[in-house]
Homo-oligomer: A and B are copies of this chain.
Amino acid sequence: MAQNEKITILDIARRTGLSKGTVDRVLHHRGEVSRRSYDKVMAAIEELGYEPNVYASLLAKGQHHLVAVLIPSHEPGTFWELAAAGIDKAAESVGTVGIRMQHFEYDQYDIESFRAACARVLDAEPSGVVIAPLFQDETDVFAAQLRERGIPFAYIDSKPESDGYLAYFGMPLYKSGYLCADQLTGGFAVPSVLIVRIRRDRQQQSDPTINRRAGFMDYMLEHSPECTLGNVFIDPNDPDSIEGALDAWFREHPGTRHIVMFNSRIHLLVPWLQHHPDSQRRVVGFDNLKANMDALRDGTVSCLIAQHPDEQMRLAIETLSEYILRRKLPQKKDNFMHMDILTRYNVEYY
């Protein structure tokens, strides 16, 4: 792969009878070069098989790039905390190549804070940015601004409809719902399933789980058409209401043995589940939050579908780095990532 002989710009300068300076100019397409010289240099590069020495280049320009990461603020124990952890991992691997990272957080329930964070990102003049987009329209606006400035960007977790991004890393949502249904039912027909959902108040905030729910529904339709699907809405900030809501539902439908949630909050059900044990019950949720994994370990939750958000972050950052440093485009633009099935028997090393 790598050339064994080390051809330097000096070699190609000599070969063409030009100087290092001119060679450098054509190498970086920064004009001020006669057509004739340009061609000669290109020919020599081709002929000699020149490959730039990255270290020398980096050393000489002493330049450090900045990659900005724009994600919802990550309180401990939340999904975004996991993603944030990926920043540090990535920093380790690309930090050595002259890329620094800075993260900018916003309140996922406050569109204004998102706008403000975008502005701060632009002020920092990054060479690239990773975006976890929760507000569709605002993200499009921001993406346009980035494009205007020629700043490459990548999405993680989800992505808006608009194009122009360098890469996307995330879970295939529809299929995750399908997989979830299979794990919940084991492939057998079941009489009824309880879907627990978060009550979202107001706002254009799109529900990120609709696609997942659709996949789930389709699986059930195909494999368990007789199944009754019940919905219960809870308020994550009011534990009592959760107990109440579940009590109410089970009073009506005591036979339900299958419970599912499509977001990362399955851990909210743990208290109720523990007060009402049922060895025949199956509970499936999403994402490897600590609280969720604990519930898996003690058997309260049967299965979790997870996706290593830190890996997605790392990949996004590395892809961006490759592009920034060497203008290398990713192999695939849309990278749908593997969905991990977690049970009590394989959580340990996750």
Query: Which residues of A pack against B, CB within 8 Å?
Result: 1-2, 6, 53-56, 58-59, 62, 88, 91, 93, 95-98, 100, 172, 175, 178-179, 182, 186, 318, 336-343, 345-346, 348-350
Contacts of A98 in B (CB 8 A): 55
Given contacts A53-B59, A55-B98, contact A343 B345 (CB under 8 A): no
Given contacts A59-B59, A91-B1, A340-B340, contact A54 B346 (CB under 8 A): no
Contacts of A350 in B (CB 8 A): 338
Contacts of A6 in B (CB 8 A): 62
> Which single member of B58, B97, B179 contacts A345 (CB below 8 Å)?
B179
Q: Least Cβ distance of A265 to chain B in Å?
A: 22
Given contacts A55-B55, A55-B58, A343-B341, contact A100 B2 (CB under 8 A): yes
Q: Least Cβ distance of A84 to chain B in Å?
A: 14
B97 and A96 form a contact (CB under 8 A):
yes
Contacts of A55 in B (CB 8 A): 54-56, 58-59, 98
Q: Least Cβ distance of A125 to chain B in Å?
A: 16
A343 to B341, CA, bound (A): 9
Q: Which of A2, A342, A346, A350 has the most CB of B within 10 A?
A: A346
Contacts of A56 in B (CB 8 A): 55, 59
Q: Least Cβ distance of A199 to chain B in Å?
A: 29
A93 to B319, CA, bound (A): 11
A1 to B101, CA, bound (A): 10
A345 to B93, CA, bound (A): 32
Q: Residue on B with the closest CB to A92?
A: B322
Contacts of A58 in B (CB 8 A): 55
A348 and B175 form a contact (CB under 8 A):
yes
> Which single member of B96, B179, B346 contacts A339 (CB below 8 Å)?
B346
- Nearest first, the 10 A-B pairs at minimum CB distance are A55-B55, A341-B341, A179-B345, A55-B59, A55-B58, A339-B346, A338-B349, A338-B350, A336-B349, A182-B345
A96 to B93, CA, bound (A): 11
A2 and B95 form a contact (CB under 8 A):
yes
Contacts of A339 in B (CB 8 A): 346, 349
